[in-house]
Structure 1
Amino acid sequence: MTTLVAMPEQTKVRRLNALRSALRARFFAVFLILVAVFVYFAVTQEQFLTVSNMNSMLTSTSTLWMAAIGMTFVMLVGAFDLSLGALVGINGVVLGLMFNTFGLPIEVAVLLTIAGGFVIGVVANGILIGQFGLSFLIVTLGTSWLLSGLVSLFTDSKTEPLISPWLDTLAFGRVAGIPVPVVVMIGVFAASWVVLNRTLFGRDIYSIGGNPQAARLSGINVRRTVAVVFGVAGLMAALSAIMQVSRIAAVSPQVNSEIMFQAAAAVLLGGASFVGGGGTITGTAVGVLFLGVMSNGLGLVGAPSYWQHVITGSIVLIAGVLDFLQGTGAGPIRKIMQMVTFRRTRPRVGERSPIDVD
């Protein structure tokens, strides 16, 4: 008599396909909500669809756009970056030092800030997490406090003006009638999409997020890849800082810790998974646009800003619950329901019984 045994590889493939389908479903759900919210504000608020308001809404999301893309890379490998706000703050300080203190040309200062952002991300977070295997929560929390302190130290807790025509053009200029920040956002989006979908590095990121052990056995240098991912997050934080400084024409001594939560919310709204391996740059873009439309529309309505937090937080919580049910939480809940209702489901060929103990 032949006994059929479950095939682990086939089971993993089925679960991975199911997870991808679920994440796509969540992405489209948020996209439909975005469309509905957009239409609602367009109908109820006369100023919403004006060109000036659309430009203002898009350019105001440029800072979050960059930060959220960086957070996407981190969450795809199954990690999280609590130091994102501090990274944005310290990169703004670096830009100020390069331009105001050392007198470098603004173009050189911007390039050095971007390169410095990558280095800070790798050294402060990537090496400790990727090479030494420390907890990303502990490392990024410590880095957040460290960098926040350095921001206050270098700025003396005072706002430092940073005046540059080049930065003014970056913040308020236009290319073929399109605001420069929007052009930069599109360029960063396209480059990130290519990296994740058309390069070996992007493939490695998804592999590590899906199964780090399997990725290591397949020959992927997991430690180096994770270190570089945090470097990418630092680089994107530098771009976010540059957009922020260009808009306010100053280096702020305040660390915007809220941008970390907004970036995480955008990534989760876009369909990313808490455990890594699932998520897309397109989904993150939809999440950022959702937050931007919500903030702009509620501002036109005159609603207090905390309502955006309430609505966005509720949606993120729902997304988290769905992610849990679609992932590891679905199995135990299904078993409990079957035990409570005394249902006995006959397993399919090659599968274990759903009430078997692992």
Structure 2
Amino acid sequence: MSVPFFGIDRFYKNHSGKILNVLNTVYTKGRLMMGPEIETFEKRISQFCNRKYGVAVGSCTDALFFALKASGIQANDEVFVTSFSFHASGTAILRASAIPVFVDIDPNTLMMDLNDLRKKITAKSKAIIAVHLFGEMMDVDELEKTASKYNLIVIEDAAQTLGSEWNGKKAGSIGTCSCISFDPTKIIGAFGNGGILLTDNSEICNTVSALRNHGNHLASGNLEKLGYNSKMSEAQAALIVYQLNLLPKLISKREKIALLYNENLKDIDQISNLQHCDHGISNFHKYVIKVERRDVLQTHLKERGIQTKIHYPYLIPELKIFRLTDNKIASFTYAQKAKSEVLSLPIYPELTQNEVMEVCKAIKEFFKN
């Protein structure tokens, strides 16, 4: 049995009629950019995340960069970020001409270790990019305490956590700005690319609205600052809103798959799961296991037609663009261990129970032998 890692084709097959109706409605209006669908999208996502304002942009990567710029981060300011995530969490800091300060991770959650962060605070420390991972949120209470104590701006990287919560606080509602991704691989995604910046600050909203549109402020019609071309199309906005209406059902289906994996893999001592926080709600964006013989297991599964992914095969500070020394990179002890052990198993609403059981059967077979 072949088990694909992504189910985007299956989603389209199940929803093709309604998707085509959404697109037909948009195209017959003749407005393709910066129109009513974008306004509806911004309003719906803002309301869902308990934010006052939302600005649609071309990607979550751009949203992170704009968040830093609009929050007042200057050249040579230090910005904390996890060492273990997708590289955009780090490169956004370079785009803002600031200095990324990488932080090791908690070995149980694989998210930023705030104890390690506190050891690295200097007079130049100005902000934290707080990255949630795999659908789980980092300890928001501890994050907010740390930021308040040291007067640090919090930029929430909620790329992977739309629909997740921590102690009743929704992903997308934390800090000065929040950034969400609608990459096609996310729990709901554009049929292309897209992102949104969320904030409760009207000045930041206005600044980012100009930055995404070449610096052109819509209210004045004047080019007030150097900007960028980072706009989402009307069609993408409408498709995301369509999926937003399905979100509770999508998360519920993902949770059932995660629980099925948990039940069937719980007796394998060589596998450990990421710690799920009792204070939070996950959207189950990824199902990640940790195993010492990860590469051999991945090959075993591939030979049986089961696709898996490694999130992430390298640390952000290992990328040449950051120019860190080998000794510095080696200091991220838990992140180094994680990159050699993590393996993401297929998880999406269209995955069948038989397919999940086939994955579990193949994993059990590997460890039995």
Same fold (TM over 0.5): no
Greater share of strand: 2
Instruction: Name the TM-score, length of structure 1 as normaliser.
Output: 0.30
- Larger CA Rg, structure 1 vs 2: 1
Greater share of helix: 1
Instruction: Name the TM-score, length of structure 2 as normaliser.
Output: 0.30
